[in-house]
A and B are shown apart, each in its own frame.
Chain A
Amino acid sequence: MTKSILIVEDEIMLQDVYKLVLSAQGYKIHTANNGAEGIQQLKATRPDMVLLDLFMPVMDGKEFLRNVDTSDYPDTKFVVYTNLSDTDTETEMLELGAHKFVLKSSMTPKDLVALVKVITM
């Protein structure tokens, strides 16, 4: 079955490269530009993985996870994919139901693919 990934990210250029690389790997990609859109897409698509950015307009990543009961989505892995390197936030996000907290500036497209493969295994 085709695995789907929801990319919640406001930076379009990043959105594009992730979409490019991951769809080339055969994943179905859905995108959202902010947390609010993200929740809509989450409900609609029930993806296998969510790549969640933190700093977004309208609704940020923190609010997204606060407004989402991750137990409603047992098959979805929520991965915080951000440039904010802050241990307090990391802890908070993991407590809110995030599966992993990744610094995106440390990841190349290849690294991303590897990460996604491992998580959606």
Chain B
Amino acid sequence: MKNLLALLGQIADKSQRPKVTRQIAQELGAEHLVIFIKDVEIDVFLPAEGFPQTLQDFHTWQNFLVSSIKKKIHHGTLPFPDQAANHAVGIAYKDECVLVLLGGKPREQKLESLRELLPLLASLFKHERHMMHSEAQLKLTDISLATTQEMAHKLDTTRRELHTIVTQYRSIFESTSDAIMILNYDGHLVEINPACYRMHGYTYKEMIRLRVRDYIHPDDHHKFMEIIKKTKAGKVFTISGTHVKKDGTYISVEVVCSGFTYKGQPHLLAVVRDVSQRRRAEEALRREFETEQRMELLMEQRNALRKVNKTKDEFIALASHQLRTPATVVKQYIALIMSEFAGPLTHDQMQFLQIAYDSNERELSIISDLLKTARIDSSRYILNKVPRDIVSILEESVGDLNSMYESSKQTVVVQAPQESIDVPVDPIEIKLVFMNLLENASKYSYPGTEINVAFYNRGSYAEIVIADTGVGVDREDQQRIFDKFTRVDNELSDTVSGTGLGLYWVKRIVEEHKGSVRLTSKLGRGSKFTVRLPL
């Protein structure tokens, strides 16, 4: 007994266990000893730690052990590596522990004393087993903790990565300047980005509620219907159109549409770009191009006109010769006859010839007038200005028309300041102006009347006034008389010869001098022509 206890005491030491258990077995009269502890989780008897773990014929052993539990003590035969020791005695403690003695001939007395020690043994091995389980479980827990931690870490990382990606995509969505619209096929807006509602002048809340007709130009509504069809068919394409902003203004847009799955359902994705600026730039370019084209056209026209003008000037030169030649010939021969070069003439012959001569002279005069007008109108008309004493030109003109005044019994009075001043003029052309005005004054005045000519120095300009007390000009006609070939009907006009060009020349020449000519007149009272020439 004492020995047994001592041995049992040593059994706790796992390293000694195999030796000690053999000693215990022999002390009890057997060869081998195996202690079984029930594993509660799997409801199977397993050898305790330190005892042989692999035993043949699992079921046989289990049955034996179960029988041992039932009977408390059980005898049987068990397969064992040491074949000589297959006679087994199983002694059970409760239903937790079975001690199996194998081989030899265990004495009953010894078995009884063993039975008293069984609770201790059972407790020891149970505890051992329990510790093993706990350790295993702890290890498992550790492992699973580590795994969980790792997984949690991975999950966290993944979540963060996902968050980053989502944030990135979200920020693209939020910050892109292209308007992004997601519509369902009912035409409702499901999602819009800031660019979209800003582009249309709405807040998010305002726009998300809109239907297609609210923001698309009426002319483009049919396009939207086409889009629905086309994108449902799975195509991606671009169209141009016009959208309407909240304030009613239009924006030119380019829209790229495609169908895509959003939240599991087919939706329409539209990316809208405001191309108003681009359109405006295109417009501007087109207008520039048009302007360039127009300029080119204008240049062409100008060149054509230049050609025409050149042709006209050449025509004038040629015409002055061609038109005048026959008339010159007639003039020479009539004059020759009238000079009685070819013999004496009768009175009648002289008279008739005179008429013919006068008519021919009139023709030559008309031709001259026409040519003068053509020259004044031509681009080649240039003044050769020199400073001249205007008053002397006036007096010269008056002198030239002396015979005319005499025959009409008209007097001319010239008023001028003591000091003569020079005015920059083309002397020939200015003389023509004065001649015309003075002639008109005489032609349209009655015999015995006075014609006044006055010169004033007005500081920045010279003023020449030629006034008569003749028939005057009606208000209606006052503007017309400066027109080409215009002659006004009045009492004296039938008696006056002329082509109606005189005042046209006056106006053109004075204006070419950067001056002005004005008519003040009252019908029946007379006319006053005021010419101003810059100094």
Contacts and interface: CB of A to CB of B under 8 A. Distances in A.
B328 A109 contact: no
A44 to B, nearest CB: 27
Given A83-B321, A84-B321, A14 B328 contact: yes
A55 B335 contact: no
A71 interface: no
Q: Do most interface residues of chain B lie in helix, strand or loop, or is the interface mixed?
A: helix
A11 interface: yes
Given A24-B341, A85-B368, A86-B317, A109 B332 contact: yes
Given A13-B329, A14-B329, A110 B335 contact: yes
A115 interface: no
Given A54-B321, A85-B371, A105 B328 contact: yes
Counting chain A residues whose Cβ lies within 8 A of the other chain, the interface size class is 20 to 34
Interface string B346-371: 00000000000000000010011001
A28 interface: no
A94 to B, nearest CB: 14
Contact of A109 (B317, B341, B384): B341
B366 to A, nearest CB: 12
A20 B341 CA distance: 10
A11 B330 CA distance: 13
A14 B320 contact: no
Interface residues of B, number: 24
Nearest to B364: A105
B333 interface: yes
A111 to B, nearest CB: 9
A102 to B, nearest CB: 12
Contact of B339 (A54, A104, A110): A110
A21 B332 CA distance: 10
B80 to A, nearest CB: 151
A105 B328 CA distance: 5
A14 B31 CA distance: 177
B341 A84 contact: no
A70 interface: no
B320 A21 contact: no
B138 interface: no
Contacts of A21: 336, 341
Contact of B327 (A82, A88, A105, A108): A105
Given A85-B368, A105-B364, A110-B339, A55 B321 contact: yes
Contacts of B141: none
A55 B323 CA distance: 12
Nearest to A112: B332
Contact of B325 (A11, A85, A106): A11
Given A14-B328, A105-B331, A105-B364, A20 B321 contact: no
Given A11-B325, A83-B320, A105-B324, A20 B331 contact: no
A104 B332 CA distance: 10
B138 to A, nearest CB: 126
A83 B341 CA distance: 25
Interface string A64-98: 00000000000000000011111110000000000
17 contacts: A13-B329, A14-B328, A14-B332, A18-B332, A21-B341, A54-B321, A55-B318, A55-B321, A82-B321, A83-B325, A84-B317, A84-B321, A85-B371, A87-B384, A104-B328, A105-B327, A105-B364
Interface of B: 317-318, 320-321, 324-325, 327-329, 331-333, 335-336, 339, 341, 364, 367-368, 371, 375, 380, 384, 428
